[in-house]
Amino acid sequence: MILNHVFFDLDGTLSDPQLGICSCIQYALRKMGQQHIPERHELHWCIGPALRESFRTLLGEQAGDDDAEQAVAFYRERFADIGLFENELYAGIPEALAALQRDGRRLYLVTAKPIVFAERIIAHFALRPFFQALYGSELNGAFTDKALLTAEVLRREGIAPATAVFVGDRRYDIAAAHDNGMPCVAVSYGYGTGDEIAQAAPDAIADTPADIPTAIRTLEQHLQQNHTIDTTH
């Protein structure tokens, strides 16, 4: 087995957070005095990128860093107690994680969401036993860059990039994997559009959670047949 380690994104990969995230963004924009509040379906693009960057776009060119920080603070007012739980686990995720464990793989959560929130979400869905470790960003914005966070996880865990695979739904996940010399399985059921995923060029695609273990096995076989894998640390 080559791909011993599997890095999982959270939002749009393990669970569907759109109600909580989009409602909290609307709440923050109202608190910021914005006249136009987008509908929830118009905010789906905000699921994946760093929250501060999304607010910089939503608030417009006239907004500065202080405005984005204030919007994030308002967002967290609602998210910490309400939005966190306006979230649904994708059907088949526990079974997929269990199958990966049976294959002998070690699983890690790698999310740009603040780790204090990610830990509560994973606990809420009773997924903690599946994971070796949970990694996320800090409330001050550190490690919201997915590529930097991925590099940090590889370093801390002593994992050779060629022995790990990233599973995620957005171009940020695919880029984070490739920037660190890892293959990536993109899931098509999340918030990355077909065009976004195609342009980011993942190494494999899973259309449902149940497809993830098979996609990784198939990718692993392809790598074994076509490449010499460096598994040294």
- The residues carrying an active-site annotation are 9
- Whether the CB-CB separation of 232 and 14 falls below 8 Å is answered with no
DSSP 3-state of 159: coil
Structural tokens at position 183: 């293959």
Residue 227 burial class via C-beta count within 10 angstroms: exposed 0-12, middle 13-18, buried 19 and up:
exposed
Structural tokens at position 9: 């994104």
- The Cα 173–Cα 186 span in angstroms is 8
What number of other Cβ atoms are within 10 A of residue 197's Cβ?
Answer: 22
| 5-8: strand order across its sheet | 131-137, 106-114, 5-8, 164-168, 184-187, 204-206
Q: Where are the alpha helices (DSSP H) in the chain?
A: 18-31, 51-59, 65-79, 93-102, 115-124, 146-157, 171-179, 194-200, 212-226
